[in-house]
Structure 1
Amino acid sequence: MATQTHFTPELFEFLSELRANNDRDWFGANKGRYEEHVKEPLLEFIVDFEPYLHSISEHFVADSRANGGSMFRIYRDVRFSKDKSPYKTQAAVHFRHEAGKSAHAPGFYLHLAPDEVFAGAGIWRPDSPTVGRIRRRIVEDPNGWKSAVGDPRFAEKFDLTGDSLKRPPKGFDPEHPYLEDLKRKDHVATCHFDEDEVTAAGFIDAFADACRTSSPYMEFLTAAVGLPY
């Protein structure tokens, strides 16, 4: 069991203050705090998590590059947003499948924000063909789906979240026993932590345990979209 502490309360203090001062002048004056308490700990966490990740599946990637790797950049893309705040007020890591090139790939996720800390697993905002493949897999293998989402440890720790259709998807039985799952547009499961857990020694073990618990769910989704697990 790991005893190292990766994250400190200063991470959440910085993000809380950034939320109240989301502008370039404030960030520039406090960039050293960002580097010390957010960026560097995240990159170290990614390096240290790789053996845990590969004990679950060798097809997922822990990439510790500062740009283009597993860590999400702090800078927001404001080109098409009404909100022109330049910075994200959360820190996040996405251990995505080796075949994926974006946040929409299958992956394990860690989200760190003041009063909002969670582990995630699944596929966020997949495109229409990908959603269709998952729906067909649920219909073709309902017992496999039941086993993946009905495991007591998974059901106790994780909630299935994300957007859903208001009506049954076209071409699928409106009386199907898993209709609510067929209506999903996102396939994401989340498991919540608190800030004290994140800043305690050994959080990496707790996060790894959450990822292992979600592994059957991830395996079902990954296979459904035609990728190795």
Structure 2
Amino acid sequence: MTESTGPAPATGLDPDVFAFYAELEQNQDREWWLANKTRYDERVKAPVERLVDALGGEFGPLKIFRPYKDVRFSADKRPYKDHLGLVSADRSAGTYYLQVSQHGLMLAGGEYQPSREQLARFREICDDNRLVGDLEATLDEAAERGFAIMTADALATAPRGYRADHPKIHLLRLKRLAVAAEHDPADWMTGPELVDRVRAGWRVVGEWNTWLAENLPAPVEAAR
């Protein structure tokens, strides 16, 4: 267990967070977790809570996910998450996400689980030369600031009704309509610069959320 070297920065991550998750990956057992629970509360979770306070209400209410995994329906029975996740609580305002792990920091957002109607409309836009240019311009602007569309879980081939050699096949295959920027551990994450970096990154995400809101049907939760 790592000894404390002093109080964490008011608005930065504690430098121990990266080591904590590296160790947790190798110690997925209740004995290690209980021995390091105070370390988690004080050096992992508390700095993120201070970050939430520092960000203010610009991105709506924010919530920190529990560190425990729901393993009931998962083949992976490791009980503890290998990261801390922070997400906006109100989907109608667009989703904003932050994740910290041994690998560093990820800022992301968008529609992680778009509805069938949203995905169908997105694909119609990709297939329409009059509309796809605005989509690509929005993604290009996000890319210039370090954000890429998430391709995890993308279809292996073309969706039904579209050609495998479609010029926009890389977009048509998407199942998540989210963008993300990943950062390796760096000094700025443990100091006051973190707040400005997260705010600037989430503002890029906000532009993507705006495009989604203006071009796709509203999320089910927001439509009720």
Question: Is this a same-fold pair by TM over 0.5?
Answer: yes
Matched, 1:134 2:122: yes
Residues 90-169 of structure 1 mapped to structure 2, 5 A cutoff: 90-99=83-92, 106-139=94-127, 141-151=131-141, 154-161=143-150, 162-169=152-159
Matched, 1:48 2:54: yes
Percentage of identical aligned residues: 25
Give, in whole Å, the separation in 2 of the partners of 1:97 and 1:171: 34
Matched, 1:187 2:177: yes
Shift in Å at residue 7 of structure 1?
A: 0.9
CA deviation vs aligned residue, 1:35-62 (integer Å, no higher than 9, x gap): 1112222222223223442xxxxxxx32
Corresponding letter in the other structure for 1:107: T
Indicate the structure (1 or 2) with the bigger Cα radius of gyration. Answer: 2
User: Where does the alignment leave 5 or more consecutive residues of structure 2 unmatched?
Assistant: 1-8
Give, in whole Å, the separation in 1 of the partners of 2:183 and 2:212: 24
Report the 3-state secondary structure (helix = DSSP H, G, I; strand = E; otherwise coil) of the residue aligned with 1:83: coil
User: For this pair of structures, how many residues does the alignment match?
Assistant: 208
Matched, 1:20 2:31: no
User: Where does the alignment leave 5 or more consecutive residues of structure 1 unmatched?
Assistant: 54-60, 64-69, 101-105
CA deviation vs aligned residue, 1:160-201 (integer Å, no higher than 9, x gap): 222222222223465654231111111222212232231122
Q: Which residue of 1 aligns with 2:72?
A: 79
Counterpart selection for 2:206 from 211, 215, 218: 215
Q: Is the 8 A contact 1:154 1:213 kept in 2?
A: no
Deviates more, 1:21-30 or 1:167-176: 167-176
Give, in whole Å, the separation in 2 of the partners of 1:136 and 1:37: 46
User: What TM-score, normalized by structure 1, do the two folds share?
Assistant: 0.79
Give, in whole Å, the separation in 2 of the partners of 1:227 and 1:50: 25
Give, in whole Å, the separation in 2 of the partners of 1:75 and 1:52: 28
Q: State the superposition RMSD in angstroms.
A: 2.6
Shift in Å at residue 14 of structure 1?
A: 1.9
Give, in whole Å, the separation in 1 of the partners of 2:206 and 2:145: 14
User: What TM-score, normalized by structure 2, do the two folds share?
Assistant: 0.80
Matched, 1:224 2:222: no
Give, in whole Å, the separation in 2 of the partners of 1:4 and 1:41: 7
Shift in Å at residue 112 of structure 1?
A: 0.4
Give, in whole Å, the separation in 2 of the partners of 1:174 and 1:85: 38
Give, in whole Å, the separation in 2 of the partners of 1:109 and 1:98: 11
Corresponding letter in the other structure for 2:214: A
Give, in whole Å, the separation in 2 of the partners of 1:72 and 1:179: 34
Give, in whole Å, the separation in 2 of the partners of 1:28 and 1:13: 17
Shift in Å at residue 155 of structure 1?
A: 3.4
Q: Is the 8 A contact 1:93 1:111 kept in 2?
A: yes
